Amino acid sequence: MSKMTIGIDQLGFYTPNYYVDLVDLAQARGVDPDKFTIGIGQDKQAVPPSSQDVVTMGASAANEFLTPDMKQDIGLIVLGTETGIDASKAGSLYIQQLLNLNPWSRAIEIKEACYGATAGLMLAKDYIATHPGKTALVIASDIARYGLETGGEVTQGAGAIAMLVTENPRIMALGDVSSYYSEQVMDFWRPVYTDEAIALGKYSTEQYIRFFELTWADYQKQTGKQLADFAAMTFHLPYTKMGLKALRTALPEADAVKQADLLAKYEESIQYSRQVGNIYTGSLYLGLLSLLEKNTNLQAGDEIGLFSYGSGAVGEFFTATLVDGFRSQLHAEQHQATLDARTQLSVPDYELVFKDKVPYAADNYQADPARFAGDFVLSGVTDQQRQYQVNE
Ligand code: HMG
């Protein structure tokens, strides 16, 4: 009997309908635009109106692929997020309602900075192994927000990735071996009284690289695998220069031809993030999606390395192998068309949208209907209850 594989069967993506161009932002902040586009490696930044939150974005990402049949088999709904909308209740319950998902399921939310969705993916893998025939919906959804005129402003962004995790997946099978490492580190955090994250910028980049080096070395020790065994390496992308810094630490292990190949694949993996920004726990998977949709020469059987990093901090290096027919499950043209169809905001308009936020207080609130977009919207807050609706 052939061994059951478990992995990613479907990948959906959503990002808000607005963006600010980072050349405009650099000029407004008195910074050389090359710092943002080359030094940081970002071109555009998604700007979420207050009618989009982790629930609406996550539901839209999953709505991209879910069919009524798929919904029946889902027994686990995981929302990975660090910008959840309730300190107690799981956002996945609102998503379950918006998408009419199977109520006979476990619906939870996982938090560990940008690592949450990877924890969800690993939980889903274990769940499916012990519940044959069942599937899991893992959603990564976040709004990266540091504040206007802060050092982190250029690394903001918003969006969601949804993954259907199944037996015999049609995109990629997850490897059995992974390496994970955690340690209490104060590189980035967000106290519950604020919606803006605190980052010790340079220190956080050092921790990211340290966690990559630790888990990559440990993975190699466990498996005896070499860098040359991988068709591509993908990374959590808080900004696109960050993954490159980590990749560069491993590159000397391969010959010049392989190095050039991995760098070319890295370029393909950052195309979407360059246009969206950091989507925190979905960023690794946005990089994976970009690689799969922009690349034309990856083949079934190719193994891809994935490095997940969540500040605070947890790192995990794991792998996945492409399966026959994976390309037919992707939506490359549709995703690029969605990105291209977004509305550009001037910097003053971006600042207005940024400031028009759901209050951190018990006040009623109405979101601006002129900025409604996507499949689902938060219309407002009434009596301390968030009001979600299908966007007609
Ligand atoms: P900064 O101080 O504004 O930037 O902070 P810098 O001075 O370090 O410059 C950045 C790069 O631009 C440098 O290149 C400069 O040389 C270059 P590098 O040395 O890094 O290769 N540069 C230029 N290049 C071309 N032309 C120019 C020019 N000028 C400078 N004219 C920082 C940047 C990313 C630290 C800041 O934006 C920040 O704090 N961001 C938030 C934290 C962050 O993203 N950390 C990443 C690692 S932690 C992580 O990934 C987890 C996270 O996603 C959260 C979670 O887990 O939930 C953040």
Q: Rounded mean pLDDT of 269-286?
A: 98
Give the residue from 247, 275, 8 showing the smallest Cα distance to 159: 275
Mean pLDDT of the 6-10 span: 98
pLDDT of 148-178, one tens digit each? Answer: 999 999 999 999 999 999 999 999 999 999 9
- pLDDT band for 275, please (50, 70, 90 cuts): very high
Rounded mean pLDDT of 174-194? 97
State the pairing for strand pair 232-235/303-310. Answer: parallel
Question: Whole-model pTM?
Answer: 0.98
What angle in degrees, to the nearest 10, is found between the helix axes of 283-294 and 116-130? 80
Domains of the chain: 6-171+330-390 (3.40.47.10), 174-326 (3.40.47.10)
What is the predicted pLDDT for the residue at 3?
A: 73
- How high is the pLDDT of residue 4? 85
Q: Is 278 assigned a ligand-binding role in the annotation?
A: yes
305 Cα–ligand 1 center, Å: 24
pLDDT tens digits along 232-244 = 999 999 999 999 9
Angle (nearest 5°) at CA 70 between 66 and 73: 140
Q: Ligand 1: which residue has its CA nearest to atom 39? A: 201
State the pLDDT at residue 148. Answer: 98
Please give the pLDDT value at position 2. 58
Q: Is 206 an active-site residue?
A: no
Q: 236 CB under 6 A from ligand 1?
A: yes
Q: Annotated catalytic residue: which of 64, 109, 112, 114? A: 114
Identify which of 150, 205, 234 to mutate to test ligand 1's pocket (most ligand atoms within 8 A of the CB). Answer: 205
pLDDT at 136 over 70: yes
- Closest ligand 1 atom to 82 CA: 57
Q: What is the pLDDT of residues 203-234, one digit of tens each?
A: 999 999 999 999 999 999 999 999 999 999 99
Q: Is 155 in the pocket of ligand 1 (CB under 6 A)?
A: yes
* E strands present in the chain: 6-14, 18-21, 44-47, 74-80, 106-110, 135-144, 157-167, 172-174, 179-182, 188-189, 198-199, 232-235, 303-310, 314-322, 343-345, 365-366, 376-382, 385-390
**Residues of the chain with pLDDT > 70: what percent?**
99
Q: How confident is the model at residue 392 (pLDDT cuts 50, 70, 90)?
A: confident
Residue 69: what pLDDT? 96
| pLDDT tens track for 42-88 | 999 999 999 999 999 999 999 999 999 999 999 999 999 999 999 99
Instruction: State the pLDDT confidence band at 297, using cuts at 50, 70 and 90.
Output: very high
Q: From the CA of 40, how far away is ligand 1's center (Å)?
A: 6
Q: Using a pLDDT cut of 90, give the percent of the chain over it.
A: 98
Grade residue 185 by pLDDT with cuts at 50, 70 and 90. very high
For the segment 363-391, what is each residue's pLDDT rounded down to a tens digit? 999 999 999 999 999 999 999 999 999 99
Looking at residue 52, what is its pLDDT?
A: 98
Q: Which two tokens stand for residue 35?
A: 């710092």
Rounded Cα–Cα distance for residues 135 and 199 (Å)? 36
